[in-house]
A and B are shown apart, each in its own frame.
Chain A
Amino acid sequence: MDSLLRGEELCLAQLFLQSGSAYDCISELGELGLVEFRDLNPSVNAFQRKHVNEIKNCEEMERILGYLLREIKKADISLPERDVNPVAPLPKHVMAIMEQLQRLEVELGEVTRNKEKLQKNLLELREYTHMLRITHSFVQRTSEREPLHVQYEEFPFLEKDTVMDYSSMQRLGAKLGFISGLIQRAKIEAFERMLWRVCKGYTILSYAEVDEYLEDPETGEPSKSIVFLISYWGEQIGQKVKKISDCYHCHLYPYPTNNDERNDVVEGLKTRIQDLHTVLHRTEDYLRQVLMKASESVYTWVIQVKKIKAIYYILNLCSLDVTNKCLIAEVWCPVNDIANLRRALEEGSRKSGATVPSFVNRIPTSDTPPSLIRTNKFTSGFQGIVDAYGVGNYREVNPAPFTIITFPFLFAVMFGDLGHGLIMALFAFWMVLYENNRKLKNTRNEIWNTFFEGRYIILMMGLFSIYTGLIYNDCFSKSLNIFGSGWSVKAMFTAEMWKTDDLSGNRFLTLDPNVTGVFKGPYPLGIDPIWNLATNRLTFLNSYKMKMSVIIGIIHMSFGVILSTYNHLHFRKKHNLYLVFLPELLFLLCLFGYLVFMIFYKWLVFSAKDSREAPSILIHFINMFLMQGDGVPPLYPGQTGLQIFLVVIAVLSVPVLLLGKPIYLNWLHNGSQRLGMYRGYERVRRNSEEELYLMRANDMEEGSSHSDLSSSGDHEAEEFDFADEFLHQAIHTIEYCLGCVSNTASYLRLWALSLAHAQLSDVLWAMVMRVGLRMDTRLGVLFLVPVFSLFAVLTVSILLVMEGLSAFLHALRLHWVEFQNKFYSGTGVKFSPFSFSLLPSSFEHDGLL
């Protein structure tokens, strides 16, 4: 418990590691996660450190592993279950892993390149096949048309048919050329236009679309292509056409001169395509095999490389001693764990087979250590929300053990509904029961992770909400009548206050508690159920909830002030108790504690009989400050005297708070110096200066960093600055006194949010559910099903999620600001031990693992 209340005691220790066994020792420490290493070479650039080459190797290996993981993911191979935790391999094995990885990379690269080449070849062959088939249909078309065509002997150039074969053209003596190929569908119109503009009718273009989608080799996407056939006249036109086709990225293929040649080519292509398919399949199988074999060990390699890199990083933080045989590391270590640390070093030395063991030496320091608070799965959530405000200073009191109860309680005061609390508690209970389910733990959904991490917080919030819902008597906006109401309507009739005609004459009638028998006593558990039926319900509830908020707020804040005594006592600043804590407490209690007293007094003493003269507490409170008391009758005899007394005490405690501590500290330092000089303190100081000089010279020889320890002690006496201290204390006083008023008012949000929740709940019932319940039986049963589903969806989304988040936020704010600024500073550093399990993996971040 001490650890959770205050944080563990940490010490600075020096590790003397034998050069040969340094790697193993650090590997042991990394597995255990005991200590935090300090950087002993802060002035050295990252590129000039000792083990920079090894780290470069590790990064190279990580690059190859990333490539491997991407290829494995592309091939849709699933990785085996990751429960393994391999130890970091020795330096001599590191090269072996590196070689393995490099070999794998080269092999994969080769196979992938081959596969791509084969695929490109296949594409070309298929395009050629399509082209031949489609141009064949061009020729076929025209050859069918020929016999129908009327031949005009006189005008041979007016013939419309475009495609002629070689034989007829040779008759004309002209050089007819053919260019055929494929072009992308999007470019065909521009191509045609360009051809027309450049060649002006000396070319004839015919084209048709390919039916199937062919894969574009550059982008890998399927796209539609068009087969075209250009017939042209003359050598120069031919060259122009070729240039234009190149421009439009057409794939050109040789056009066969006659049908026989065409058939031969088609046959040849068919066999070649079949062969290529087989080879391609075999290549893909081989690639998959390689990847599967790699996938078995890739996870192990990832972890091993991560550990190696971490160890070398830590080795870079250490410094060599003068003899160059021993590595020195400075660590922050919990005092309770020094024995474990020794054992780990012995284990590491034994594993590396070193003759001289490594050992640990505790050294004194005046630096503040980081704060370590050990938590289990239940307390870690609450510690997390405290740390989100600020990590505590070393060994200052930790609000987390109190937050475990007060945070859910304040949430529940604002949430206060039995039904909603029950749903919330059941949801959290389900999460807690299945917390070891791997799928729930390891999803990447951020929002779900947030809820899952806080499952214990939500469980506590739900349970407390059930209790406050019981007290507020609010269950899905309806009240429960367990014990029988304390108000009796019958009594109003028997006492002749109401007659039966009154019922027909008026719409609303008010019960009078002065009449005997009407009010039988307070409801034993919470708010009376009759208030749920009353129209002036809010008048009563508002008064009750506002007073409740103020009472809870003042008690919470007093608790915070009292917690500060723990800090004062632990850090041995007893003067703080009298000069800071006492004035603070007196100020708070004399003014606001008295307010709480007045609330309780009014509840107990004033009843319906004197309801006309019931005083307004607020007016009395204000009058107390203004020292007026004449206008209103006193609550109790002697009130004015007591109030003046309390105000005087509160006002007097302000200057004590403001000036007490600085004056006392000033007197302490000046006075002691004066005293010291009388007793030869100067001589003592001069002696100690010599000692310090000797020590420093010694340190330089040893090459360790003790110098900063002793020099800080030197300056301590000079550092007390009265102005600084006074300013600090003045700010604290103003903050505290003004804060008392504003923070008390801030607690009224407890009232505001519970009112909002109750009203929302009421509206949802009245507008949604009641509509369904009011209908006629036969139709109503059918209608009720969608109405209830709407009610359920709105309840969960608006009342549970939205109101829940809102109340969570406000309860958190009340803790962070109003409670914690009474005692908590939260400016510490968190202890982050060197542990392999805590290191992040870049692959997980990229979603590759």
Chain B
Amino acid sequence: MAELSFVITMSVVTLFWAIVGGIVPLFIPKGPNRGVIVTMLVLTSVCCYLFWLIAILAQLNPLFGPSLSTDAIWYLRYHWP
């Protein structure tokens, strides 16, 4: 179950940034600024995807858990699923 949600998330986000970086540049109209805009799109998608990827991989296999105060535990026990 957890695996499935991870796979879905991974594929959705990867697909999104792949479209931004790979498909959208093909539709930029020809003009003096085409090169700059294509560079910007590719770099944006690479940077943002990498940043998201690092965040999710760092949390994939946590080696330790969060340490909460007992008040917080009391609240979270009843209010979070």
Which A residues form the contact surface with B (CB < 8 A)?
Answer: 1-2, 4-5, 376, 379, 401-402, 404-406, 409, 413, 467-468, 471, 484-490, 493, 498, 503-504, 506-513, 518-528, 530-531, 533-537, 539-540, 543-544, 547-548, 551-552, 555, 600, 603-608, 611, 614
Contacts and interface: CB of A to CB of B under 8 A. Distances in A.
20 contacts: A1-B36, A401-B36, A486-B59, A488-B80, A488-B81, A489-B76, A490-B80, A504-B70, A513-B64, A520-B1, A522-B59, A524-B9, A535-B68, A540-B66, A543-B58, A544-B58, A547-B54, A548-B58, A552-B51, A604-B61
Contacts of B2: 520-521
A381 to B, nearest CB: 13
Given A489-B80, A522-B60, A544 B66 contact: no
Interface residues of B, number: 46
Interface string B43-81: 110011011101111111111111111101110110011
A524 B65 CA distance: 18
Contacts of A493: 77
A832 B14 CA distance: 46
B65 to A, nearest CB: 3
Interface string B12-53: 010000000000000000001111101110011001101110
Contacts of A530: 66, 68, 76
A397 to B, nearest CB: 12
Nearest to B78: A490
A4 B35 contact: yes
Contacts of A484: 80-81
Given A534-B66, A608-B63, 5 more contacts: A488-B80, A490-B81, A519-B62, A605-B61, A608-B65
B35 to A, nearest CB: 2
Contacts of B44: 405
B65 A603 contact: no
Contact of A409 (B3, B36, B47): B47
A531 B66 contact: yes
B66 A524 contact: no
B67 A536 contact: yes
Interface of B is mostly: helix
A227 B43 CA distance: 84
Contacts of A543: 58
Contacts of A485: 80
Given A2-B35, A503-B73, A600-B57, A608 B62 contact: yes
A389 B33 CA distance: 25
Contact of A526 (B38, B52, B62, B66): B52
A402 B36 CA distance: 9
Contact of A1 (B13, B34, B50): B34
Contacts of A487: 65-66
Given A4-B35, A507-B70, A519 B81 contact: no
Nearest to A400: B36
Given A512-B65, A521-B5, A600-B57, A405 B51 contact: no
Of all A-B residue pairs in the complex, the 4 with the closest CB atoms, nearest first, are A1-B35, A534-B66, A511-B65, A607-B61
Contacts of B36: 1, 4, 379, 401, 404
B16 to A, nearest CB: 11
A503 B70 contact: yes
A509 B55 CA distance: 25
Given A405-B43, A512-B65, A607-B61, A489 B55 contact: no
A512 B34 CA distance: 52
B44 to A, nearest CB: 5
Contacts of A608: 61-65
Contacts of A489: 68, 73, 76-77, 80
Contact of B51 (A471, A535, A536): A471
Contacts of A503: 70, 73-74
A829 B27 CA distance: 37
Contacts of A504: 70
A317 to B, nearest CB: 32
Contacts of B65: 487, 510-513, 518-519, 608
Contact of A522 (B6, B39, B47, B68): B6
A555 B43 CA distance: 12
B63 A604 contact: no
A604 B10 CA distance: 14
Given A513-B64, A522-B60, A402 B50 contact: no
Interface-central residue, B33, B38, B47, B65, by most chain A CB under 10 Å: B65
Nearest to B39: A401
Given A489-B76, A490-B77, A604 B57 contact: yes
Contacts of A533: 66, 68-69, 72, 76
A511 B68 contact: yes
B46 to A, nearest CB: 9
Given A405-B40, A488-B80, A471 B55 contact: yes
Contacts of A551: 50, 54
A543 B68 CA distance: 19
A526 B55 contact: yes
B68 A534 contact: yes
Given A489-B80, A490-B77, A608-B61, A406 B51 contact: no
A467 B20 CA distance: 15
Contacts of A611: 63-64
Contacts of A519: 62, 65
